[in-house]
Amino acid sequence: MSEVVQNTTGDAGTAAEATAAPRGTTAISEEVVEKIAGTAAREVPGVADLGGDVSRFFNSVLDRVGLDEVGDAGRGVSVEVKGTAAVINIVIVIEAGQVVGEVTEAVRVKVIEAVEKYGLQVTEVNVNVDDIELPAPAAGA
Protein backbone atom coordinates (compact mmCIF):
# COMPACT_ATOMS: atom_id res chain seq x y z
CA MET A 1 0.00 0.00 0.00
CA SER A 2 1.47 3.38 -0.95
CA GLU A 3 1.28 6.44 1.26
CA VAL A 4 0.13 9.88 0.15
CA VAL A 5 2.36 12.70 1.33
CA GLN A 6 1.39 16.36 1.42
CA ASN A 7 2.52 19.61 3.00
CA THR A 8 0.35 21.33 5.56
CA THR A 9 0.72 24.64 7.34
CA GLY A 10 0.83 24.63 11.13
CA ASP A 11 -0.41 27.30 13.53
CA ALA A 12 2.93 29.10 13.44
CA GLY A 13 2.81 29.35 9.65
CA THR A 14 5.51 26.76 9.03
CA ALA A 15 5.24 23.85 6.66
CA ALA A 16 4.77 20.45 8.22
CA GLU A 17 5.14 16.91 7.00
CA ALA A 18 1.84 15.06 6.69
CA THR A 19 1.49 11.44 5.65
CA ALA A 20 -1.91 9.97 4.91
CA ALA A 21 -2.49 6.61 6.52
CA PRO A 22 -5.50 4.28 6.47
CA ARG A 23 -6.79 5.73 9.76
CA GLY A 24 -5.52 9.31 9.72
CA THR A 25 -2.48 11.45 9.04
CA THR A 26 0.87 11.90 10.73
CA ALA A 27 2.53 15.31 10.72
CA ILE A 28 6.09 16.21 11.73
CA SER A 29 6.48 19.96 12.20
CA GLU A 30 9.60 21.83 11.19
CA GLU A 31 10.09 22.73 14.86
CA VAL A 32 10.38 19.03 15.76
CA VAL A 33 12.93 18.46 13.00
CA GLU A 34 14.89 21.49 14.28
CA LYS A 35 15.01 19.95 17.76
CA ILE A 36 16.13 16.58 16.42
CA ALA A 37 18.85 18.17 14.27
CA GLY A 38 20.00 20.48 17.07
CA THR A 39 20.27 17.64 19.55
CA ALA A 40 22.28 15.57 17.07
CA ALA A 41 24.62 18.45 16.21
CA ARG A 42 25.36 19.16 19.89
CA GLU A 43 26.52 15.54 20.33
CA VAL A 44 29.34 15.95 17.79
CA PRO A 45 32.80 16.31 19.36
CA GLY A 46 34.20 19.74 18.52
CA VAL A 47 30.84 21.52 18.52
CA ALA A 48 30.95 23.99 21.41
CA ASP A 49 27.54 25.59 20.85
CA LEU A 50 24.82 26.29 18.30
CA GLY A 51 23.54 29.59 17.00
CA GLY A 52 24.90 32.91 15.89
CA ASP A 53 26.14 35.73 18.11
CA VAL A 54 22.71 37.30 18.65
CA SER A 55 20.91 34.07 19.56
CA ARG A 56 23.71 33.08 21.94
CA PHE A 57 23.56 36.53 23.58
CA PHE A 58 19.80 36.28 24.16
CA ASN A 59 20.21 32.73 25.43
CA SER A 60 22.79 33.89 27.99
CA VAL A 61 20.34 36.55 29.18
CA LEU A 62 17.63 33.90 29.57
CA ASP A 63 20.10 31.73 31.50
CA ARG A 64 20.78 34.57 33.96
CA VAL A 65 17.09 35.07 34.74
CA GLY A 66 16.48 31.38 35.34
CA LEU A 67 14.99 30.48 31.96
CA ASP A 68 17.95 28.39 30.88
CA GLU A 69 15.90 25.85 28.91
CA VAL A 70 13.89 28.38 26.88
CA GLY A 71 14.87 28.49 23.23
CA ASP A 72 17.74 25.98 23.51
CA ALA A 73 16.28 23.01 21.65
CA GLY A 74 16.18 24.38 18.12
CA ARG A 75 18.54 27.34 18.49
CA GLY A 76 20.91 27.67 15.56
CA VAL A 77 18.87 25.35 13.35
CA SER A 78 16.36 26.14 10.63
CA VAL A 79 14.51 23.57 8.55
CA GLU A 80 12.39 23.56 5.44
CA VAL A 81 10.25 20.48 4.83
CA LYS A 82 8.67 19.88 1.42
CA GLY A 83 6.88 16.58 1.09
CA THR A 84 9.24 14.00 2.53
CA ALA A 85 12.39 16.06 1.85
CA ALA A 86 14.09 18.29 4.40
CA VAL A 87 16.74 20.97 4.00
CA ILE A 88 18.53 21.75 7.26
CA ASN A 89 20.66 24.81 8.03
CA ILE A 90 22.80 24.78 11.17
CA VAL A 91 24.93 27.52 12.71
CA ILE A 92 27.67 26.18 14.99
CA VAL A 93 30.50 27.36 17.21
CA ILE A 94 33.51 25.06 17.10
CA GLU A 95 36.04 24.41 19.83
CA ALA A 96 39.49 25.90 19.28
CA GLY A 97 41.95 23.47 17.71
CA GLN A 98 39.32 21.48 15.82
CA VAL A 99 39.54 20.87 12.08
CA VAL A 100 36.56 22.69 10.58
CA GLY A 101 36.02 20.23 7.72
CA GLU A 102 36.03 17.23 10.04
CA VAL A 103 33.61 18.79 12.52
CA THR A 104 31.18 20.01 9.85
CA GLU A 105 31.18 16.64 8.07
CA ALA A 106 30.55 14.86 11.38
CA VAL A 107 27.64 17.26 12.01
CA ARG A 108 26.17 16.44 8.59
CA VAL A 109 26.44 12.69 9.15
CA LYS A 110 24.98 12.82 12.68
CA VAL A 111 22.09 15.12 11.69
CA ILE A 112 21.17 13.08 8.61
CA GLU A 113 21.17 9.83 10.61
CA ALA A 114 19.03 11.35 13.37
CA VAL A 115 16.43 13.00 11.11
CA GLU A 116 16.10 10.13 8.65
CA LYS A 117 15.14 7.80 11.52
CA TYR A 118 11.88 9.79 11.61
CA GLY A 119 11.04 8.99 7.98
CA LEU A 120 12.21 12.14 6.23
CA GLN A 121 14.78 12.29 3.44
CA VAL A 122 17.47 14.90 4.20
CA THR A 123 18.54 16.49 0.92
CA GLU A 124 20.93 19.10 2.37
CA VAL A 125 22.63 19.93 5.63
CA ASN A 126 24.26 23.34 5.35
CA VAL A 127 26.65 24.11 8.21
CA ASN A 128 27.77 27.67 8.96
CA VAL A 129 30.68 28.01 11.40
CA ASP A 130 29.87 31.33 13.10
CA ASP A 131 32.46 31.44 15.88
CA ILE A 132 35.22 29.61 17.69
CA GLU A 133 35.29 28.91 21.42
CA LEU A 134 38.72 29.71 22.79
CA PRO A 135 39.97 27.96 25.92
CA ALA A 136 39.54 29.89 29.16
CA PRO A 137 42.71 31.59 30.37
CA ALA A 138 44.56 29.70 33.08
CA ALA A 139 43.87 30.84 36.63
CA GLY A 140 46.39 33.41 37.83
CA ALA A 141 47.54 34.21 34.32
Burial class (CB in 10 A: 0-12, 13-18, 19+), 48: middle
Nearest to 128 by CA among 63, 43, 41: 41
Q: Which CATH architecture has domain 29-132?
A: 2-Layer Sandwich (3.30)
Domain regions of the chain by residue span: 29-132
Q: pLDDT tens for the chain, 141 residues: list them.
A: 333 343 333 444 444 446 666 788 777 889 999 999 999 999 999 999 998 755 544 455 445 556 555 455 567 899 999 888 999 999 999 999 999 999 999 999 999 999 999 999 999 999 999 999 998 887 765
- Looking at residue 101, what is its pLDDT? 97
- Looking at residue 88, what is its pLDDT? 97
**Contacts of the segment 106-110: beta carbons below 8 A, 24+ positions apart:** 106/44, 106/45, 106/46, 107/40, 107/41, 107/44, 107/47, 110/40, 110/41, 110/43, 110/44
- Looking at residue 6, what is its pLDDT? 38
Residue 115 and residue 39 in contact, taking contact as beta carbons nearer than 8 Å: no
* Beta bridge partners of residue 7, listed in sequence order: 17
- Looking at residue 44, what is its pLDDT? 98
